[in-house]
Amino acid sequence: MNDSSAAAAAASAVTGAGESQGMNYLVSLPRRIVTVYAPLAAFLIVLLFPFYWMIVTTFKPNEELLSREGNPFWVKNPTLAHVKKLLFDTAYPDWLWNTILVSVTATFISLFASVLAAYAVERLRFRSARYVGMSIFLAYLVPPSILFIPLAAVIYKLQLFDTRLALILTYPTFLIPFATWLLMGYFKSIPIELEECALIDGATRLQILVKIILPLAVPGLISAGIFAFTLSWNEFIYALTFVSSSEVKTVPVGVVTELVEGDVYHWGSLMAGALLGSLPVAVLYSFFVEYYVSGLTGAIKE
């Protein structure tokens, strides 16, 4: 690099960070702060503030919540009163249990159906497998907000209205297309020669699936499982429509419909409800970030 052009280069050497040479990197450090770290910090503050605010509100006594004096960003006298109220005076524990039950069951049902379907489409290659694959992708694009009205009619006809089973059976409609699509990608990456060897050795297709494909597709199964679990945990419109008794509600629906009644909003327990309802997915997610991200991007990338 010429001396004459060094200044100009330094000014423009912000991108390609990893490849920039030592001197350039030093010169452009102040610029890096302005162009990289400051915006990144701003993004983080905005993206995380609502969670911080949830936590702060959960532990604030009512006097502090409703006063405009003092520093609102900190809790002076932390209290567990809101959490206690939530856990002992409302049906929140029921909702939590329902959400866990529905999410886990729907996830396992969907995984089971998706593994079989993905294997059939990707490896058995029966006639019209291509069209089945296509229609599964199309099913993936059908949004719940155009399905919930006729689905409510179906649920009613099957006499499943106001039961957990209604949710357990309807959640797979958005879980199976996604999970199948994701698993098809994983199965595709497993060498077909492995299967051919097993076939020559006399293994049946079912044995191949259980003993060869599934062990190799464990990362895919975890990705699909984690993703399906969070999707079910977050589901709202079906749970709002198909269930009406308090003891069958899920956390998102229960918090929104039952804690909000009346004119006086109990912000403390509302935020406690939101926080406790978000924690399980957040914790699970934090253990499986890589799997979650690969599920998210894998499902998008085809």
Partner 1 sequence: MVARPKATQQTALARALDHRGVLGAMFMLPAALLLLVFLTYPLGLGTYLGFTDAKIGRPGHWIGLENFEYLWGDAVTRLALFNTLFYTVVASVIKFGLGLWLALLLNKHVPFKAALRAVVLLPFIVPTALSAIAFWWIYDSQFSILSWGLLKLGLIDQYIDFLGQPWHARFSTIAANIWRGVPFVAITLLAGLQTISPSYYEAASLDGASPWQQFRYVTLPLLTPIIAVVMTFSVLMTFTDFQLIYVLTRGGPLNSTHLMATLSFQRAISGGSLGEGAAIATAMVPFLLAVILLSYFGLQSRTWQQGGTDK
Contact 253, 243 (CB under 8 A): yes
Choices 76-84, 90-98, 169-177, 216-224; region in contact with partner 1 by CB under 8 A:
169-177
Q: 171 to 210, contacts with partner 1 by CB under 8 A?
A: 172-173, 176-177, 180, 195-196, 199-202, 204-206
Q: 58 to 77, contacts with partner 1 by CB under 8 A?
A: 65-66, 68, 72
Least CB distance to partner 1 at residue 256 (A)? 5
Under the binding rule (CB under 8 A), the answer on residue 117 touching partner 1 is yes
Q: How many angstroms separate the Cα of 275 from the Cα of each of 56, 159, 265?
A: 10, 34, 16
Least CB distance to partner 1 at residue 155 (A)? 9
Q: Which two tokens stand for residue 203?
A: 């293994």
Under the binding rule (CB under 8 A), the answer on residue 245 touching partner 1 is no
Cα gap 285→287, rounded to integer Å: 5
Contact 174, 214 (CB under 8 A): no
The correct pick among 26, 33, 62, 112 for binding partner 1 (CB under 8 A) is 112
Question: What count of Cα atoms within 13 Å lies in the side-chain half-sphere of residue 126?
Answer: 7
* Rg (the chain; Cα; Å): 26
The correct pick among 6, 27, 54, 165 for binding partner 1 (CB under 8 A) is 54
Under the binding rule (CB under 8 A), the answer on residue 255 touching partner 1 is yes
Least CB distance to partner 1 at residue 231 (A)? 10
CB within 8 A of 256, min separation 6: which ones? 236, 240
Q: Which residues of 129-140 are buried (b: 16+ CB within 10 A; e: fewer)?
A: eeeebeebeeeb
Q: 268 to 297, contacts with partner 1 by CB under 8 A?
A: 270-271, 273-274, 277-278, 281-282, 285-286, 289, 292-293, 296-297
